[in-house]
């Protein structure tokens, strides 16, 4: 048996043990919690690059017609004003379900890669710990992408601002890794689901299909924020953190953001 095969088998055994432990706590699940209430942004806080905490720059995040909308109609130019809307509670073991769609035209000045681009950030730092000019929270990004009407473009990809993960027993250092999802063109609604088991396993699911999974989310030692965010015990694995959605220059609608708590560290 090759050494890397042994590592993979060991990792799988540890994951299965963790999942079985979590599943044994199912009787303690609370049921689905609506993180977005369809009326306002109660329970959320926001941070835009270059602006203080909870300044809703140019009314980017808003609730209209029962939808949580990311809009840029008050912008003349995007000017790298990357924003994030944070749910005000950290979570560790949970299922998250989000229904989203891309609409309209990208904000003038938005980067080319941000066309029909948003994201669900998990295991992230708190909004209050971000630097004033910081573009993205250190987190695991579940990247949401829409098609351009012609080319293939997967969604629920993985991006890693200030982080790394392990896939098939290998530490992956790339910033973004594509999922195996199909492309979703136009303004159709897409259901994104995540299964998050602390620092053991994270799974991406699109319209019921598993399109990616990985283990051991962790802080990236190469990142400038590494020492600041490293806990006193020196454990760089990420087992708990914030949940946020992005404002990256393309209008986006969310009609559902809900969470099923599986018990923090399986001890709920």
pLDDT in tens, 118-132: 999 999 999 999 999
User: Both ends of the chain: CA-CA distance in Å?
Assistant: 39
2 has pLDDT over 60: no
Place of tokens 């994270």: 202
Mean per-residue pLDDT of the chain: 91
Higher pLDDT, 19 or 153: 153
Q: Which of 164, 143, 137 is nearest to 237 (CA)?
A: 164
pLDDT of residue 264: 66
Q: What percent of the chain has pLDDT over 90?
A: 87
Model confidence pLDDT, tens digit, residues 208-261: 999 999 999 999 999 999 999 999 999 999 999 999 999 999 999 999 999 999
6 has pLDDT over 90: no
Number of residues that this document lists for the chain:
268
pLDDT of residue 57: 98
pLDDT of residue 268: 34
Copy the structure tokens of residue 150: 């012609």
Going by pLDDT thresholds of 50, 70 and 90, the confidence category of residue 263 is confident
For range 111-124, the mean pLDDT = 98
Q: Are residues 252 and 52 in contact, defined by beta-carbon separation less than 8 angstroms? A: no
13 has pLDDT over 50: no
- Sign for the pseudo-dihedral over CA of 220, 222, 224, 226: positive
pLDDT of residue 3: 46
Residues in Cβ contact with 257 at an 8 Å cutoff, skipping those fewer than 6 apart: 34, 35, 36, 68, 87, 96, 97, 98, 245
Q: What percent of the chain has pLDDT over 70?
A: 87
CATH architecture for residues 3-266: Sandwich (2.60)
Model confidence pLDDT, tens digit, residues 30-76: 699 999 999 999 999 999 999 999 999 999 999 999 999 999 999 99
Going by pLDDT thresholds of 50, 70 and 90, the confidence category of residue 21 is very low
For range 2-11, the mean pLDDT = 47
Question: What is the value of pTM for the model shown?
Answer: 0.88
Place of tokens 């990247």: 143
pLDDT of residue 30: 62
Q: Cα separation of 218 and 241, whole Å? A: 11
- Residue 136's CB: how many other CB atoms inside 10 A? 20
Contacts 24+ apart (CB under 8 A), 71-78: 71/251, 72/107, 72/249, 72/251, 75/107, 75/108, 75/109, 76/108, 77/107, 77/108, 77/109, 78/107, 78/108, 78/109, 78/110, 78/111, 78/249
Going by pLDDT thresholds of 50, 70 and 90, the confidence category of residue 10 is very low
pLDDT of residue 169: 95
Q: Are residues 262 and 25 in contact, defined by beta-carbon separation less than 8 angstroms? A: yes
């Amino acid at each position: 048996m090759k050494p890397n095969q042994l590592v993979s088998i060991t990792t799988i055994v540890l994951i299965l043990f963790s999942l079985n432990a979590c599943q044994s706590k199912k009787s303690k699940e609370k049921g689905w919690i609506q993180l977005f209430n369809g009326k306002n942004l109660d329970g959320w806080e926001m941070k835009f690059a270059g602006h203080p905490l909870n300044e809703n720059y140019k009314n980017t995040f808003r609730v209209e017609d029962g939808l949580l909308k990311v809009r840029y109609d008050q912008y003349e130019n995007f000017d790298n004003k990357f924003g994030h809307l944070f749910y005000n509670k950290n979570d560790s073991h949970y299922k998250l379900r989000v229904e989203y769609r891309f609409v309209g035209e990208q904000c003038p000045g938005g980067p080319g890669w941000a066309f029909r681009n948003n994201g669900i950030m998990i295991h992230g730092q708190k909004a209050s710990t971000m630097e004033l000019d910081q573009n993205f929270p250190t987190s695991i990004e579940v990247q949401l992408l829409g098609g351009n009407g012609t080319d293939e473009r997967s969604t629920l990809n993985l991006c890693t601002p200030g982080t790394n993960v392990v896939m098939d027993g290998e530490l992956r250092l790339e910033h973004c890794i594509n999922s195996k999802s199909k492309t979703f063109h136009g303004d159709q609604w897409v259901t994104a689901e995540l299964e998050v088991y602390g620092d053991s396993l994270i799974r991406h699911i699109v319209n019921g299909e598993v399109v990616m999974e990985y283990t051991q989310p962790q802080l990236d030692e190469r990142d400038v924020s590494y020492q600041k965010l490293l806990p006193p015990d020196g454990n760089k694995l990420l087992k708990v953190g914030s949940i946020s959605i992005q404002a990256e220059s393309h209008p986006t609608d969310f009609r559902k953001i809900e969470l099923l708590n599986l018990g923090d560290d399986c001890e709920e």
